[in-house]
Amino acid sequence: MTLPKNPNFATLAVHAGAQPDPTTGARVTPIYQTASYVFDDVEHASALFNLEAFGNIYTRINNPTQSVLEERVAALEGGTAALAVASGHAAQQLVFHTLLEPGDEFIAARQLYGGSINQFNHAFKKFDWHVKWADGTDPSSFKKLVTKKTKAIFIESIANPGGIVMDIAAIAKVAKSAGVPLIVDNTMATPYLCRPKEHGADIIVQSLTKFLGGHGNSVGGIIVDCGTFDWMKSGKFPTLSEPCPSYNGMKLGETFGNFAFAIACRVLGLRDLGPAISPMNAFLILTGIETLPLRMNQHCKNAKAVAKFLDKHPDVAWVNYAGLKDSLYHHLANKYCPEGAGAVFTFGLKGGYDAGVNLVRNVNLFSHLANIGDTRSLVIHPASTTHSQLTPKERAAAGAGDDVVRLSIGLEDKNDIIADLKQAMKKG
């Protein structure tokens, strides 16, 4: 099988990274359910362990099913290489493990997924890594926080749960001026709606659990190396620029060039910290990606219809969906997400906290759970769940105030989705 010279997105979503199995002829990528692999000979084994050859050693480090998934997502994002791991949180941990030394700082938009806020504020302190919080709606706020200790800037392309579309290009300029990489979490948009590399991102992370897998049946995360950052230039990133004791003094940034970051995350972070993705989950996510363009189109159509309905409902105080023309972020959505503003958005009920909780109690078609990006429509009240560990001030800053309800609009008929929300609000 040979792909066209310049395959389009839908073709890559089905074919990138995959070939019929050479032994059996199986057309679908097999689930390589094995812990380890037989080496050709002693010399082959030595070359693998010394990074002189690429191949399979142990499924904690890589696996053939995983490799197809990595090649596919790298192709969809336009990156040079990727590393799939056990979860989105694991992806973030490995990224910062590779970039930071004890005492280092990074800057993050405060409008992030609540789990990321907790990870950055609390878990990372045990590594002596320190976050400074900028306003994702104001690129200049990032510049004000840059110090000599700053090693990265982290944002979401579309913020979860607030639905804010961030000005990636403007924030990328700040990162470039500071000589640090821009990391973009592209989970909410997926590469179908937004390609952060084209706007200045150096590293992309995603929770594969969400739209890429798309069916709520598997957990995973991924790191995409965009191949755009010079790790050898400044000396700020010794993991990549200095001799590596684990590999006989090899300088990873020098040896592997524009995919050195992905290599370092794998052969140092994943090797030693161990958050490997299972072959079964890699297989399920690969299967989900094949229909990503079709699903994202329908997700966006349904979400826009539901947002328009809510925007006119008398019990609704506000709707924050960048696909609506009166949204503060509509112009940014048109720039960065021309195919649609995504499937996830928030709205506020006039009854505040109690009204939000009651809505969740009264829905029938929606599933009340802590996930997004499923084929099914999902609902949650962040202030009482995903963001409940934050202070009221932190919740409001993250777009998860007391009145906020988050919807992840699925693939059901839009009229049925709207009818369920209508009856739930009527019950009060």
| Domain range summary for the chain, segments of one domain joined by + | 9-288, 292-427
Instruction: Give the 3-state secondary structure percentages of the chain, helix then strand then coil, rounded to 5.
Output: 40, 15, 45
| pLDDT at residue 55 is higher than 90 | yes
- pLDDT for position 24: 94
Q: Which one-letter DSSP state was computed for residue 256?
A: H
How many CA atoms within 13 Å lie on the side-chain side of 53?
12
User: If you count them, how many residues does the chain have?
Assistant: 428
Q: Is the pLDDT of residue 313 over 80?
A: yes
348 DSSP β-pair partners: 318, 404
Other CB atoms within 10 A of residue 385 CB: 17
The pLDDT value recorded for residue 3 is 84
Answer yes or no: is pLDDT of 167 > 80: yes
- The 8-class DSSP code of residue 265 comes to I
Which carries the bigger pLDDT value, residue 400 or residue 234?
A: 234
Distances in whole angstroms, Cα of residue 6 to Cα of each of 1, 12, 16: 15, 10, 12
The answer, yes or no, to whether the previous bond of 161 is cis (omega within 30 of 0) is: yes
For residues 403 and 382, give the distance between their C-alpha atoms in angstroms, rounded to a whole number.
9
Q: What is the mean pLDDT of residues 143-164?
A: 95
pLDDT bracket for residue 393 (50, 70, 90): confident
User: Which residues fall within 8 angstroms of residue 45, CB to CB, at 6 or more apart?
Assistant: 39
Q: Are 151 and 180 in contact (CB under 8 A)?
A: yes
> Which among 22, 72, 134, 77 is positioned nearest to 283, based on CA atoms?
72
pLDDT at 386 over 80: no
- pTM comes to 0.96
Average pLDDT over residues 274-297: 98
* Separation between Cα atoms, residue 292 and residue 246, nearest integer Å: 39
Q: Which fold would CATH assign to domain 9-288?
A: Aspartate Aminotransferase; domain 2 (3.40.640)
Provide the pLDDT for residue 383: 84
pLDDT at 139: 98
Residue 299 has pLDDT above 90, yes or no: yes
User: Does 398 have pLDDT greater than 80?
Assistant: no
Please choose, from the candidates 9, 385, 371, the residue with its C-alpha nearest in 3D space to the C-alpha of residue 210: 371
Structure confidence at residue 394 (pLDDT): 82
Of 168 and 426, more confident: 168
Structure token pair of residue 186: 């592209």
Computed over every residue of the chain, the mean pLDDT equals 96
Q: Is residue 399's pLDDT more than 80? A: no
The residues facing 221 across adjacent strands are 85, 207
Name the CATH superfamily for 292-427. Answer: Aspartate Aminotransferase, domain 1 (3.90.1150.10)
Spatial distance between the Cα atoms of 357 and 345, rounded to a whole number of angstroms? 17
Q: Confidence band (pLDDT; 50, 70, 90) for 382?
A: confident
Q: Given strand 105-109, what is the order of strands in its sheet?
A: 81-85, 221-225, 203-207, 182-185, 150-156, 105-109, 130-134
Region of 342 on the Ramachandran plot (φ > 0 left; ψ -120 to 50 alpha; else beta): left
76 membership: H or E segment, kind and range: helix 64-77
pLDDT-based confidence at 5, cuts 50/70/90?
A: confident
